[in-house]
A = this chain, B = another copy of it.
Amino acid sequence: MNIKSIAKMAGVSVATVSKIINNYSDIGEETKQRVLKIMEETGYKPSSSAKTLATKKSNLIGVVFAGALNSDLNHPFFVSVINAFKKQIGLLGYDLLFFSNETFFDSKEDYWARCRHFQVDGCIIIAGDEVEASVHQLDQSDIPCIGIDIPLTGNNSAYIMSDNAKISAKVVEHLYMNGYRETGFLGIERHSEVVSLREQAFKESLRTFGLPVNPDWFIYSKDFDEESGYQAMKKLIATGRLPKAMFAVTDLLAFGAMRAMKEHRLKIPEDMALIGCDDIDACQYTDPALTTVKQDKEKIGKLAAIMLYDMINKQIEPSAILIEPEMVVRQSCGVR
């Protein structure tokens, strides 16, 4: 079933059918109704590939999970963002093409090439750390790109990220207002853009409030997982000199720290308060429930869709947006 058969059945030209499909206004009402009816009856749907070939528009958005680290459909933060993005971009008439990172032609992960191959209209780039070079190539190309947690610089690129500095500022403010003066920080040894931002801002905020920045209380886990957080916290506890509160840059690390603290019979928050970051679902279910900072994933995803749409349709200049984080106060570091 193709446009030609529809045209024949309706006794019109393919050009006319095409115009009806694409909602041109200069078509006679009765012709239009007649053709529409036939399309309905036959269950005809135009071929996307033929249309893409003719128009160079695919109505597809490429989804790139960039970075060797932390970027995967298993990462709860990114999944929520993508989910919100998918909903909004769907309303705007686009479907999503997920590049499967495994193999593609000979070149490994040449994202730009794959975008051209499929003629995607735009891309969303979701980034963890250790981002590969080909992402930057895509960023610099003429394909509109919206980055999540990655500062893109291309002429057709924009990006959105949580205001990481503000995350730390809010944490420090919360701690300060609730009487915590001696505070520690649980970071990660591996390099991570986002984590660095949080750490810098945390130190600055401490200084702003005149709180001590004690290097002994700045500890670093080997990796991003719970176990690493647990190990790091155990070491700190072993020193015997503990702060009254701890900020972990990630909820998962906070879970690990919590486990270590419980093991050593430290009461949370009485002996030491604990704050995580991200507000993944599990925070509600720990005991005590984890106080954390929420990134507004819904908003980030939705905004990404709207901005990308506008970029594709040349309605805005690319820019960078920082999203306001929000303290979620639970029992692990509550209001005194």
Interface, chain A (partner B; CB < 8 A): 43, 45-50, 52-53, 58, 60, 63, 72-74, 76, 79-80, 82-83, 86-87, 89-91, 93-103, 105, 113-114, 116-119, 226, 255, 258, 262, 281-282, 284-287
Contacts and interface: CB of A to CB of B under 8 A. Distances in A.
B226 A117 contact: no
Contacts of A281: 282
Given A284-B226, A285-B255, A100 B119 contact: no
A102 B95 contact: no
B83 A103 contact: no
Nearest to A286: B285
13 contacts: A43-B113, A45-B114, A48-B117, A49-B50, A50-B53, A60-B97, A73-B86, A91-B103, A95-B98, A96-B98, A96-B100, A98-B98, A282-B282
B87 A100 contact: yes
Contact of A53 (B53, B63, B89, B105): B53
A103 B90 CA distance: 6
The 4 A-B pairs of least Cβ separation, nearest first, read: A90-B100, A90-B102, A282-B282, A49-B52
A73 B80 CA distance: 7
A114 B311 CA distance: 26
Contact of A46 (B117, B285, B286): B117
Contacts of A262: 287
Given A49-B49, A98-B96, A285-B285, A80 B91 contact: no
A86 B100 contact: yes
Contacts of A50: 49, 53
Contacts of A94: 100
Contact of A73 (B60, B82, B102): B82
B113 A45 contact: yes
Contacts of A74: 79-80, 83
A52 B58 CA distance: 13
B58 A49 contact: yes
A119 B285 contact: no
B100 A97 contact: no
Nearest to A73: B83
A270 to B, nearest CB: 16
B73 A119 contact: no
A110 B184 CA distance: 55
B95 A99 contact: yes
Given A53-B47, A286-B285, A87 B102 contact: yes
